[in-house]
């Protein structure tokens, strides 16, 4: 179990729907510092969060996760402000399949670079004291989606990266665990104008099925995300859907 009291938390994409809902729950856990990482500062939301918990130091760092140099600078800024990271939550994401490069850069490459560059601030053999990294993937990282093939590919990559980095050899040496959270369809900016975001024009029926399906609120995702964080089970994959939290078991098809 992970006790969040007194911990330093970095939340990437903290001004989005799920991110903002998660930030509000974190403030209730008596954490020491909450660093909101975003491409653009949102001082209004930052002030709102600080007002909700005067006992937590709420900070902001600008970082473009599609740019390695920006991530490097962002991590230096974080190190100056809080020195160590105990919990890193990667919740930034985009859904825009017709822009392949941006979709992969934000959902996968940026997440990977952020994890690797944050690791020294968490690794107990370097500057850290161990901790947990949480990567937001999607149910479409487990199952294919013909309407959102690029998004699905990126989220499959997030799951593969998370499973690989949660290898017990890495966890034992660094003291850092890694899990992935897989939300189902959620009422968020990602779902807006969905018909214009598909990989191809020939997937109209699939999109209509998605739009007709029941969607959960970001707050529902955040509640289950906090449960997954507090369980702190290295390598775990959790589906967060319609108020339910379910751990996923995957078969092993090949090994040395």
pLDDT in tens, 159-207: 999 999 999 999 999 999 999 999 999 999 889 899 999 999 998 899 9
Q: Among the residues of 136-186, which ranges form H helices?
A: 149-165, 168-174
Q: 237-241 and 244-247 as β-strands: parallel, antiparallel, unpaired?
A: antiparallel
Are 35 and 81 spatial neighbours (Cβ–Cβ below 8 Å)? yes
pTM: 0.97
Q: What is the DSSP string of 128-143?
A: ---EEEEEE--GGGTS
Q: Tabulate helix, strand, coil % of the chain (nearest 5).
A: 45, 20, 35
Q: Which CATH architecture group holds 8-241? A: 3-Layer(aba) Sandwich (3.40)
Helix (H) or strand (E) holding 182: strand 176-183
CA–CA distance from 41 to each of 12, 15, 79, 197 (Å)? 12, 9, 18, 26
Whole-angstrom distance, CA of residue 93 vs CA of residue 123: 25
Q: What pLDDT shows up at residue 40?
A: 85
Residues 6 or more apart whose CB falls under 8 angstroms from that of 29 comprise 4, 5, 226
- Judged by phi (left if over 0) then psi (alpha if -120 to 50, else beta), residue 237 lies in beta
Render each residue's pLDDT in the chain as its tens digit; 256 residues: 899 999 999 999 988 899 999 999 999 999 999 999 999 888 888 899 999 998 999 999 999 999 999 999 999 999 999 999 999 999 999 999 999 999 999 999 999 999 999 999 999 999 999 999 999 999 999 999 999 999 999 999 999 999 999 999 999 999 999 999 999 999 998 898 999 999 999 988 999 999 999 999 999 999 999 999 999 999 999 999 999 999 999 999 998 8
Q: What pLDDT shows up at residue 143?
A: 96
Are 240 and 181 spatial neighbours (Cβ–Cβ below 8 Å)? yes
Are 215 and 185 spatial neighbours (Cβ–Cβ below 8 Å)? yes
Q: What pLDDT shows up at residue 85?
A: 98
Q: What pLDDT shows up at residue 42?
A: 85
Strand partners, 33: 8, 57
Q: What pLDDT shows up at residue 1?
A: 85
Q: What pLDDT shows up at residue 16?
A: 85
Are 197 and 210 spatial neighbours (Cβ–Cβ below 8 Å)? no
Domain boundaries of the chain, sorted by first residue: 8-241
């Amino acid at each position: 179990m992970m006790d969040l009291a007194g911990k330093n938390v970095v939340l990437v994409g903290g001004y989005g729907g799920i991110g903002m809902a998660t930030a509000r729950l974190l403030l209730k856990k008596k954490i020491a510092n909450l660093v909101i990482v975003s491409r653009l500062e949102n001082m209004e939301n930052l002030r709102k969060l600080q007002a909700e918990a005067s006992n937590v130091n709420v900070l902001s760092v600008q970082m473009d996760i599609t740019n390695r140099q920006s991530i490097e600078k962002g991590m230096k800024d974080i190190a100056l402000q809080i020195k160590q990271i105990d919990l890193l939550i990667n919740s930034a994401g985009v859904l825009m399949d017709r822009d392949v490069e941006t979709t992969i850069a934000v959902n996968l490459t940026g997440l990977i670079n952020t994890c690797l560059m944050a690791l020294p601030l968490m690794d107990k053999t370097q500057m850290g004291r161990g901790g947990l990294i949480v990567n937001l993937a999607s149910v479409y990282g487990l199952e294919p989606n013909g309407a959102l093939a690029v998004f699905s590919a990126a989220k499959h990559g997030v799951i593969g990266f998370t499973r690989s980095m949660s290898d017990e050899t890495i966890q034992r040496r660094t003291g850092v665990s890694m899990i992935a959270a897989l939300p189902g369809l959620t009422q968020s900016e990602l779902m807006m104008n969905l018909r214009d975001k598909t990989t191809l024009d020939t997937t109209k029926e699939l999109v209509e099925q998605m739009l007709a399906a029941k969607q959960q609120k970001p707050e529902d995702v955040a509640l289950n995300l906090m449960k997954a964080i507090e369980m702190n089970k290295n390598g775990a994959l959790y589906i967060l859907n319609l108020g339910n939290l379910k751990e996923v078991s995957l078969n092993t098809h090949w090994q040395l």
